[in-house]
Amino acid sequence: MSFSTEFSLGEVVRGLASNKFSVQEVVTEYLSAVKGAAYLNAFITVAETPALQEAKRIDAVPVAERGVLKGAPIGVKDNILTRGLTTTAASKMLEHFVPPYDATVIERLKGAGGMVLGKTNLDEFAMGSSNENSAFGAVRNPWDVERVPGGTSGGSAAAVAARLVPAALGTDTGGSVRQPASFCGVLGLKPTYGRVSRYGVIAYASSLDQVGVLAHTTEDLALLLSIIGGHCRFDATSSRRPLFSAETKFKGDRESVAGLKVGLPKEYFLQGLDNEVSAAVTNTVAELEKLGAKVVDISLPHTEAAVAAYYIIAPAEASSNLSRYDGIRYGYRAAGVSSLKDVYRRTRTEGFGEEVKRRIMIGTYVLSSGYYEAFYRKAQQVRTLIARDFTQVFAADCDVIATPVAPTTAYKLGEKLTDPLQMYLGDIFTIPVSLAGLPALSIPGGLSSVGLPIGVQLIAPHFQEDRLLQISAALEPVLQWRAQGPQTSWRV
Amino acid sequence: MSDVPTKPPLDSSVVSQIERSDDIPIDVNAIANLCYLEVVPERAHHLKQELTDILNYVKALSAYDTHAVEPMSHVHVGDVNELREDELIESLSREEVLSCAPDRKGAFYKVPLIIES
């Protein structure tokens, strides 16, 4: 068996483990694929030399002595710190920033025998929904290069969809793993808040951020989550709840799905929802019914408040988190400035892009004296109501919830750039899940009539990622999303 | 709990401002000042409109009854005050940290003079 970039991460690992091919061969092939796909702009930094050096080093280690990933490379979103490898958050502010330490998820990845092929493009500081807010150019969707890949993990989603890496890490605050996964036809898992350490992840909104995984197979999601997840002493919000091991197999057999109650919340299927998006969800759920699941209608009454609550809470937390970018200890510093306050002002004005500045200003406003109670505190109270909706339906009505991921398929580049609010409304189905801190998975639920991927969102109770993975494993042979790949006519 | 300071009462003028359908008055320059950003005069009007649109949208939350509802700052409400043992461990070296500095001199960050006007 020779290596192919079509392989899943699991297949790469098994091939390496049985010495069918070497790590150097694997890395060389992926690097070549990345070069051929430069037009997609999925990567900000390609770690060519370090990756080849690391591949050579690992190849000299007997397979039995390597970690469970055996040397396989993945992509990493460029808001996750990688020691010695430039980490930019797709911002001019950190254009030349070389972190002196690895994020916990990177340490664990490396400890498990994995390596970083490159840093994928994103919306600046993880703020956006289309990967058009990067200081290093927009990312193109491999399914249609005139369209967005989604965001903010657009680079990771595009790289996985285009088979430039077998899998990638992203981050999800309001939908930023799930929505690009939906737009690019790959799996995208956002774990429960607290399931994966945020140490070394460039902070956007601390009560919402989570590292997530993008891949083609359930096995790959499970493998990477088992490696990166679990309690971290450096993240006080990380949970001590046990996580399944890397050896766990999610067979997705009938037993795991039969009798499951799948809730369809009426507030997510209003008049005006694109027919094809709606059909993708109902078709997917129908497949689960064939496997013995039951469908129930449910209600999440505070759904309509979610986008408003999020666009108060997230910018507020961002305004606080981004106050560290002041030109003093790291990152960009404005030149030719003579007073400290001017260093702050000019550095931040020149270093940040427009969307980032917009959100910092909104956040500053809603936290300011006189407005805090009416905006921020109110939003936090509404957040409690939204979270309670989910707790109630999981307790009484259903075991998992199925919804669309996004109201549309991938839109054209430039289409939503002039109206920030329109862009925000695209997050309507992913945001409530983030506010409640629940685990959710975007599964490729088919293609639209013009051949664009449509994702279906599955939501489980807190810390029940295994339930999502069982369902994904059950649907995998039925929906066969791997067989549908983007055209590669854009390749040089 | 009589010695716990009570929260200041909700500013009723702010609340009524928010509940009315009028635009919320936004002083773009005052906000920018608070977060150390500069607003280019040519952009100020457009930025003010964008922020007004967004804030008008989010103020819809005032319609929700949140009487006696606790504000949520952490989704796992019981998982607070997560403490660890106070043990000394290796951290980053001074050199590793200073290597990131835009401007340094020896063991120090170099910064402009703080000018009090």
| Contact residues for A291 (Cβ-Cβ < 8 A; gap 6+) | A254, A257, A258, A474, A478
pLDDT in tens, A40-60: 999 999 999 999 999 999 999
Q: Is the pLDDT of residue A374 over 60?
A: yes
User: Among A97, A333, A348, whose Cβ lies nearest the Cβ of B37?
Assistant: A348
Burial class (CB in 10 A: 0-12, 13-18, 19+), A407: middle
What is the reported pLDDT for B59?
A: 84
3-state secondary structure of A151: coil
Contact B71 A365 (CB under 8 A): no
pLDDT in tens, A302-358: 999 999 999 999 999 999 999 999 999 999 999 998 889 999 999 999 999 999 999
Confidence of residue B7 (pLDDT cuts 50, 70, 90): very low
Instruction: Name chain B contacts of A345, Cβ cutoff 8 Å.
Output: 36-38
Residue with tokens 């994103």: A122
Q: Is the pLDDT of residue B80 over 90?
A: no
Instruction: Report how far apart, in Å, the C-alpha atoms of A346 and of each of A28, A363, B102 are.
Output: 42, 19, 14
Confidence of residue A418 (pLDDT cuts 50, 70, 90): confident
Omega of the bond leading into A86 within 30 degrees of 0 (cis): no
DSSP element (H, E) containing A117: strand A115-120
Interface of B with A in 88-117 (CB under 8 A): 92, 96-97, 99-103, 109, 111-115
- Say if strands A210-215 and A187-190 run parallel, antiparallel, or are unpaired: antiparallel
Please tell me the least confidently modeled range out of A143-147, A199-203, A272-276, A293-297.
A272-276
Confidence of residue B10 (pLDDT cuts 50, 70, 90): very low
Q: Contact, B55 vs B75, CB < 8 A?
A: no
Contact B76 A437 (CB under 8 A): yes
Pick from A173, A430, A424, A201: nearest CA to A317: A173
Instruction: Give the chain B residue whose CA is nearest to the CA of A327.
Output: B102
User: Among A100, A339, A384, whose Cβ lies nearest the Cβ of B71?
Assistant: A384
Q: Contact, A117 vs A71, CB < 8 A?
A: no
The Cα angle at residue A415 between residues A161 and A271, in degrees rounded to 5:
90
Q: Is the pLDDT of residue B1 over 70?
A: no
Distance of alpha carbon A118 from alpha carbon A116, whole angstroms: 6
DSSP annotation string for A238-250: ---S----TT---
| Contact residues for B8 (Cβ-Cβ < 8 A; gap 6+) | none
Instruction: Name chain A contacts of B71, Cβ cutoff 8 Å.
Output: 377, 380-381, 383-384
| Contact residues for A315 (Cβ-Cβ < 8 A; gap 6+) | A359, A360, A362, A363, A366
pLDDT in tens, A232-261: 999 999 999 999 999 999 998 889 999 999
Confidence of residue B84 (pLDDT cuts 50, 70, 90): confident
pLDDT in tens, A125-175: 999 999 999 999 999 999 999 999 999 999 999 999 999 999 999 999 999
Q: Is the pLDDT of residue B88 over 50?
A: yes
Mutate to test the interface with A, among B75, B90, B116 (most CBs of A within 10 A): B75
Confidence of residue B21 (pLDDT cuts 50, 70, 90): low
What is the reported pLDDT for A268?
A: 96
More confidently predicted of A72 and B42: A72
